[in-house]
Amino acid sequence: MARRKKIYEGKAKTLFEGPEPGTIVQYFKDDATAFNAEKKDVIEGKGVLNNLLSEYFMVGLGQIGVPTHFLKRLNMREQLVRSCEIVPLEVIVRNYAAGSMSKRLGIDEGTQLPRPIVEYCLKDDALGDPLVSEEHIAAFGWASQQDMEDILSLTLRVNDFMSGVMLAVGIRLIDFKIEFGRVYDGDFQRLVLADEISPDSCRLWDIETGRKLDKDVFRRDLGSLTDAYSEVARRLGVMPNTP
């Protein structure tokens, strides 16, 4: 492999300088972390599954008109994406209570919410990605009012798309996290969906059995993470042996 410049190494992905200006190679690692990296392991094959699944969701979202950073998949572990300036927010959508919301508000996991609830967390590992309000976002200038309007409408479209795709294969989309980036065309700025969408960043429950098919399998020691992610890929027809 030719030497290339590493731009950033995160918990689950490494970013390298891409072949053209304005592009980045996103490499999906097998590393799994939870609880802000207090729990760690290497799960063979996770990177390949997340690369393929994220490609599948990003391409589908692109087809319904949601702009994304995805350009093309390069191989089993890498995809070429547009370089963008990441908005420092984790955008979480919840359709059913689970995880930190259940803990924080005392709502039983699996309770259907009256409508999708969107939450924002500051992207800051050292602080444990704290929940923030739109007041904080505006006051500290993390995103403009226009950005927030665009983020909300794109996020709800992502939720509708992802919920439908999952429902069609017998999976309930409990919640998920996405990130946005800014790309600049001259003076013109627009937002794109960035990072990844994969079972690492969603909660996915089998509708019939309630089986968890997401990173909670790792967080809560519920069995094989590769089996869970492979099941999602199998149902969606996203096979790891696709060239």
Q: Which residues bind ligand C5P (CB under 6 A)?
A: 90, 92, 98-101, 129, 175-177, 201-203, 215
Q: Which is nearer to ligand C5P, 176 or 180 (CB)?
A: 176
CB of 148 to ligand C5P, least distance (A): 19
Buried-exposed string 12-39: b where 16+ CB fall within 10 A, e elsewhere: bbbbbebeeeebbbbbbbbbbbbeeeee
- Per the CB < 8 A criterion, the answer to whether 104 and 116 are in contact is no
In angstroms, the CA 241 to CA 151 distance is 34
Closest residue to ligand C5P, judged by C-beta, is 99
Q: Which is nearer to ligand C5P, 162 or 191 (CB)?
A: 162
Q: Which is nearer to ligand C5P, 70 or 120 (CB)?
A: 120
Q: Which is nearer to ligand C5P, 79 or 201 (CB)?
A: 201
CB of 102 to ligand C5P, least distance (A): 8
CB of 180 to ligand C5P, least distance (A): 14
Going by C-beta distance under 8 Å and a sequence separation of 6 or more, which residues neighbour residue 17?
4, 5, 7, 24, 25
Q: Which is nearer to ligand C5P, 147 or 195 (CB)?
A: 195
Residues constituting the chain: 243
DSSP string, 158-217: HHHHHHHHHHTTTEEEEEEEEEEEEEEETTEEEEEEES--STTSEEEEETTT--B-STHH
CB of 36 to ligand C5P, least distance (A): 8
CB of 59 to ligand C5P, least distance (A): 20
**Residue 61 CB-half CA count within 13 A:** 28
Q: Which is nearer to ligand C5P, 18 or 171 (CB)?
A: 171
In angstroms, the CA 220 to CA 34 distance is 10
In angstroms, the CA 99 to CA 95 distance is 12
CB of 150 to ligand C5P, least distance (A): 20
**Residue 65 CB-half CA count within 13 A:** 4
Q: Which is nearer to ligand C5P, 18 or 26 (CB)?
A: 26
Buried-exposed string 89-103: b where 16+ CB fall within 10 A, e elsewhere: bbbbbbbbbbeebbe
CB of 65 to ligand C5P, least distance (A): 24
